[in-house]
Amino acid sequence: MKNKKIITIDGPSASGKGLLAKELAKQLNFILLDSGLLYRAYSYCFEKAHNHSEAMELFSQLKIDGVTGAMAVYEKENNITQLLRHENIAKAASKLSSLKETRNNLISFQRSLASSHGLIADGRDMGTVVFPDAATKIFLIADVEVRAQRRFLELQNNDQGVNMRDLIEDIRLRDEADRAREISPLVPALDSIEVNSSLLTPHEVLNKVLEIYKERIKEI
């Protein structure tokens, strides 16, 4: 039985998943799961801990707020969400995310967010592994140059100086690692619909996905 209340959005880095997920959550009043942020938060904990059980202990002490429409992570009273958006954390998360221990540690928390309220799940393996029963599965792609340009602007807004050529290379390497890993690789679910956002505005992507969602829930 397919779950009408879950929309999964998977795809490579900077394909526009985050913005799409946020807008969908707002429009449909669903909860938002930014699974990449969880992998980043786990990596942040792992750096302090050096082994998985200690990392998990630290991770469970973080406060993760997803109900506000944009997921936020707090360490004690400090909002560390922006800190987790740094490229060095992304690199560490990319490495750690290929390990079975990391993925096992995060899966139940991700699944616990599914409820009658509805969930938009953004990541790499949302439709294939975490929520295989989701009724609507989107695989969002875009050309690597377009994605690098988007990430460039995002990082500049976050006061991080980056070089465009390095950024394209980093994105390529991270995508390759996500696609090639043995556990939960970045692949489209068989029942997903591919959307290419290279030539679309965020608004057009949102409308397209809302149409797909309406069709999908009608079919069930």
The answer to whether 97 contacts ligand C5P (rule: CB under 6 A) is yes
Binds ligand C5P by CB under 6 A, chosen from 9, 15, 32, 40: 40
Instruction: Return d(Cα 135, Cα 146) in angstroms, integer.
Output: 29
Binds ligand C5P by CB under 6 A, chosen from 8, 35, 105, 136: 35
Q: Please give the torsion angle defined by the CA atoms of residues 46, 149, 195 and 68, in that order, rounded to the nearest 10 degrees.
A: 50
Q: How far is the CB of 55 from ligand C5P (least distance, A)?
A: 14
Identity of the residue, 35 or 136, whose beta carbon is nearer to ligand C5P in the bound complex = 35
Q: How far is the CB of 219 from ligand C5P (least distance, A)?
A: 26
Identity of the residue, 94 or 105, whose beta carbon is nearer to ligand C5P in the bound complex = 94
Main-chain dihedrals φ then ψ at residue 5, nearest 5 degrees: -90, 10
The answer to whether 39 contacts ligand C5P (rule: CB under 6 A) is yes
Q: Are 220 and 2 in contact (CB under 8 A)?
A: yes
Q: Are 121 and 98 in contact (CB under 8 A)?
A: no
Name, in order, each residue with C-beta under 8 angstroms of 76's C-beta and a sequence gap of 6 or more: none
Beta bridge partners of 134: 3
Q: How far is the CB of 178 from ligand C5P (least distance, A)?
A: 5
The answer to whether 123 contacts ligand C5P (rule: CB under 6 A) is yes
CA nearest neighbour of 138 among 123, 149, 148: 123
Q: Which residues bind ligand C5P (CB under 6 A)?
A: 13, 35-37, 39-40, 90, 93-94, 97, 123-125, 174, 178
